[in-house]
Amino acid sequence: MLKFAQPQRVCKIGNVLVGGQPGENPTVLCGSIFFRGHRIVSDPEEGVFDREKAKDLLDREGELSAETGIPRMIDVLGETTKALIQYIEFVATYCDAPILVDSSVPRVRMEAIRYFANTEVACRLVYNSLDEHYTAEELACIRDSGIKSAVILAFGSKTGWPKDRVKLLKDGLVDAAESAGLENLLIDTGVLDVPSISWSAQAIYAVKEELGYPSGCAPANALYMWEKLKVRGSPDFQAVVSAVLALPISWGADFIFYGPIRNASWVYPACAAVEAMVAYGGRPIGIRPAKGHPLYRIF
């Protein structure tokens, strides 16, 4: 099994540890809620949604997290500032997990973290994400808000090869993040399409081996655009996606964006099984799983 030569950084965000040697702290799963097209949302501009159904989704994922020993972060997406703030307030009320502040519009993300600055929720927020196109305004906003955690996207038009993604980090992206006061850097190696998840996994390995930062990726970005698989339906979809999610975990991923939170029921058991095997395989090389690891929960 894997053991990285570089000392591994472990980030504590809220009640969750992210990072470490494979087999120590389990991979954190990130399910998405309130995304574009999510049926529980009736007005994405105003942030109107079915609160009962949203709570049910959060509760069910929480139960699965406790049962399997797999920690979680909630990827909260919003199309407008008003919507994103309302979504975060709701999730923070009914869930104690870290919350990813996510929007395709940088201004929305910035206004949301500014709103929660100096609140009890702030320590649980993870800015998602900072990439090579960051602006001085964005860095200043993060610094002024006091947010200490962010996903750093090490991916771009000229960073296809795994080594190029590491170079992007070394050439200034990490320095920019730290200049904004960020302390917990979660490196997302990016995903272009399903076959390229193999390169994403290799990049995860390279980041951890060379830099020691917690690293992961978002296979969901490609999986849910795989039309030939989607039309096959269940159980083909669940089986294939479970196998795809296992690949980056086996290469050392510290976090995985698995897609819609409704799929937690089969994602958590699948990933817990992989985690348990990784942890068991680490025993001969001196790696000891953290208390509550899936190795101790699912068998």
Domain 10-291 coded CATH 3.20.20.20: yes
The predicted structure's pLDDT at residue 151:
98
Q: Which amino acid type is present at position 182?
A: L
Mean pLDDT of 111-125: 97
* Predicted pLDDT at 229: 87
- Average model confidence (pLDDT) across the chain: 96
Q: What are phi and psi of 114, to 5 degrees?
A: -65, -40
Residue 2 makes CB contacts below 8 A (sequence gap 6+) with 21, 22, 205, 251, 252, 282
Domain ranges of the chain: 10-291
Is the model's pLDDT at 231 over the cut of 90?
no
- Per-residue pLDDT, 157: 80
Check residue 225 and give its pLDDT. 86
Mean pLDDT in residue range 44-48: 98
The yes-or-no verdict on residue 95 having pLDDT over 90 is yes
Please compute the mean of the pLDDT values over residues 157-178 and round it to a whole number.
94
Cis peptide before 260 (omega within 30 of 0): no
Q: What is the mean pLDDT of residues 144-154?
A: 98
Name the pTM for this structure.
0.97
What confidence score (pLDDT) does residue 227 get?
85
| Residues 205-226, mean pLDDT to the nearest whole number | 95
